[in-house]
Amino acid sequence: MPGTVIVGTQWGDEGKGRFTDYLAEESTLVVRYQGGHNAGHTIVVDGEVFKIQLVPSGVLYPHVTPIIGNGVVVDPAVLLAEIDMLEAKGVSTANLRLSGNAHLIMPYHQELDRVSERYLGKNKLGTTKRGIGPAYADKAMRVGIRVQDLLDPKIFRQKLDLAIRDKNLMLTKGYNRPGLDPQAIAADYLAMVPRLEPLIDDSVHLIHSALDRGEHVLFEGAQATFLDLDQGTYPFVTSSNPVAGGVCTGAGVGPRAIERVVGVVKAYTTRVGSGPFPSELFEGDPVGDELVARGHEYGTNTGRRRRPGWLDMVMIRHAVRLNSCTDVAITKLDVLAPFEELKICVAYEGDDGTRYDHVPYHQSVIHKVRPVYETLPGWRGEIDDAKTLDDLPAEARDYVRRIEELAGVPVSFVGVGPARDQTLVLSS
């Protein structure tokens, strides 16, 4: 049963969408298994740029069935707008399927996300304010409303009336905000049903039928390992499980359905929002500023400047463990072209002098560790025209091979630009 997972190994925006699109050519199904429209995946085809939040990146191939799995949280208005955007660009969304078991993001989730961030002040998480945390909280509280509930207006209204009661209490009494009107919400959501209904399906059955036929199924992660609710830098994380194990619950397959796990590694590190970042290069640092400028490191989704830093291989090694990565795909190697020397974080040092070769579990420790760097020579030249690894300068090849050594698994692809044909395929 050949299932492949694409997972981010850092704090997101590694280029998962780009590699999903690349590997989708060989797949019949591409499945999102967690997250929502907090994701922003960019794909560049023939110079045209597609920025997608909810629809799986395989949508650009007519032979692919893109599936929004049960583990995703869906804002239906965003989904419909994205379908319209894709259709307007000439991309057919006719094959798109939406799990009836996926949970809906409701207007009160977005409002609560906004006000709770405001109330946290300087302790804010820096969320995307898309309602992700509150929607998953309702799912865990068992008051979530699912896509299938839209198919029965009476049930939908009943569930909404129940769910909104404590939300309005919280908004009015806790946050001093106006409550929301369930009638108006019901009218808005039910008005979308005629367009949504044809998409709604049994995603688990579709996935297993494809696997049983021996077809290739690709699972597209959103966010990343260190934003994982359980394994990331909690509480500065998202509210779902992006790690490869999240595929099992978020798509409804067992671990044995997964054969390959590709960890996507950006050639340096970025992070959007708050939280610890050992190899961070703070605003004003010339290298950090150049990484942001050359890498266009501004959020696809919120437009925020991404925090830059050197590549942190302590994190990548941990991500390889957490996800059982079989191989890694490096992106944005081309961005490193101008630097005289390159640093790779190979260990951390705690404020008591303790050396860590793995990511320490304790929040206070991870907040204070200093990076231990290894320095490699840069190659000082553009590489975006390279077609094979051999076309790269020796220093660039050495950088790739060092990542491979430290990761402990083979590098299978190297991105030297955002386009499909800027992908170097490595044999071993």
Residues near ligand IMO (CB under 6 A) are 8, 11-13, 38-41, 125-128, 130, 132-133, 222-224, 227, 238-239, 272-273, 300
Cβ proximity to Mg ion: between 40 and 417 the closer is: 40
C-alpha span between 241 and 229 (Å, rounded) = 6
Active site residue 205: no
Closest distance to ligand GDP from the beta carbon of 356 (Å): 27
Residue 309's binding partner among ligand GDP, Mg ion, ligand IMO, none (Cβ under 5 to 8 angstroms by kind) is none
Which of 13, 21, 75, 312 is labelled catalytic? Answer: 13
Residue 223's binding partner among Mg ion, ligand IMO, ligand GDP, none (Cβ under 5 to 8 angstroms by kind) is ligand IMO
Going from the C-alpha of 60 to that of each of 36, 50, 52, 173, 195, the distances in angstroms are: 19, 9, 11, 47, 21
Residue 325's binding partner among Mg ion, ligand IMO, ligand GDP, none (Cβ under 5 to 8 angstroms by kind) is none
Which region among 9-17, 128-136, 191-199, 235-243 touches ligand GDP (by CB under 6 A)?
9-17
Residues with Cβ within 8 Å of 290's Cβ and at least 6 positions away in sequence, in order, are: 338, 339
Cβ proximity to ligand IMO: between 7 and 253 the closer is: 7
Residue 273's binding partner among ligand IMO, Mg ion, ligand GDP, none (Cβ under 5 to 8 angstroms by kind) is ligand IMO
Active site residue 41: yes
Does position 10 interact with Mg ion (CB under 5 A)? The reply is: no
Taking phi over 0 as left and psi of -120 to 50 as alpha, with beta for the rest, 6 belongs to beta
φ/ψ (deg, to 5) at 325: -60, 135
Which region among 85-93, 186-194, 361-369, 409-417 touches ligand GDP (by CB under 6 A)?
409-417
Does position 279 interact with ligand GDP (CB under 6 A)? The reply is: no
Does position 40 interact with Mg ion (CB under 5 A)? The reply is: yes
Does position 300 interact with Mg ion (CB under 5 A)? The reply is: yes
3-state SS of 167-226 is HHHHHHHHCCCCCCCHHHHHHHHHHCHHHHHHHEECHHHHHHHHHHCCCCEEEECCCCHH
Which of 37, 41, 103, 216 is labelled catalytic? Answer: 41
C-alpha span between 295 and 316 (Å, rounded) = 20
Task: Check: CB of residue 4 under 8 Å from CB of residue 262.
Answer: yes
Closest distance to ligand IMO from the beta carbon of 302 (Å): 7
Residue 278's binding partner among Mg ion, ligand IMO, ligand GDP, none (Cβ under 5 to 8 angstroms by kind) is none
Closest CA to 72 of 230, 221, 237, 189: 221
Structure tokens that stand for 35 in this block: 């997250």
Closest distance to ligand IMO from the beta carbon of 32 (Å): 10
Which region among 32-40, 88-96, 97-105, 321-329 touches Mg ion (by CB under 5 A)?
32-40
Site track for ligand GDP across 292-331, x = CB under 6 A = ----x---x------------------------------x
3-state secondary structure of 372: strand
Q: Across-strand partners of 48?
A: 45
Cβ proximity to ligand IMO: between 150 and 243 the closer is: 243
Cβ proximity to Mg ion: between 40 and 107 the closer is: 40
C-alpha span between 352 and 245 (Å, rounded) = 34
Residue 292's H or E segment, with its range, is helix 286-294
Cβ proximity to Mg ion: between 216 and 271 the closer is: 271
Closest CA to 33 of 253, 195, 213: 253
Q: Tell me, what amino acid is at 222? A: A
Does position 271 interact with ligand GDP (CB under 6 A)? The reply is: no
C-alpha span between 276 and 269 (Å, rounded) = 12
Residue nearest to ligand GDP (CB): 415
Torsion over CA of 381, 384, 387 and 388, rounded to 10 degrees? 50
Closest CA to 53 of 65, 61, 43, 62: 43
Does position 13 interact with ligand GDP (CB under 6 A)? The reply is: yes
Full DSSP string of 394-418: HHHHHHHHHHHHHHTS-EEEEESSS
Which residues are designated catalytic?
13, 41
For binding to Mg ion (CB under 5 A), which residues are involved?
13, 40, 300
Residues near ligand GDP (CB under 6 A) = 8, 12-18, 40-42, 44, 296, 300, 331-332, 334-335, 415-418
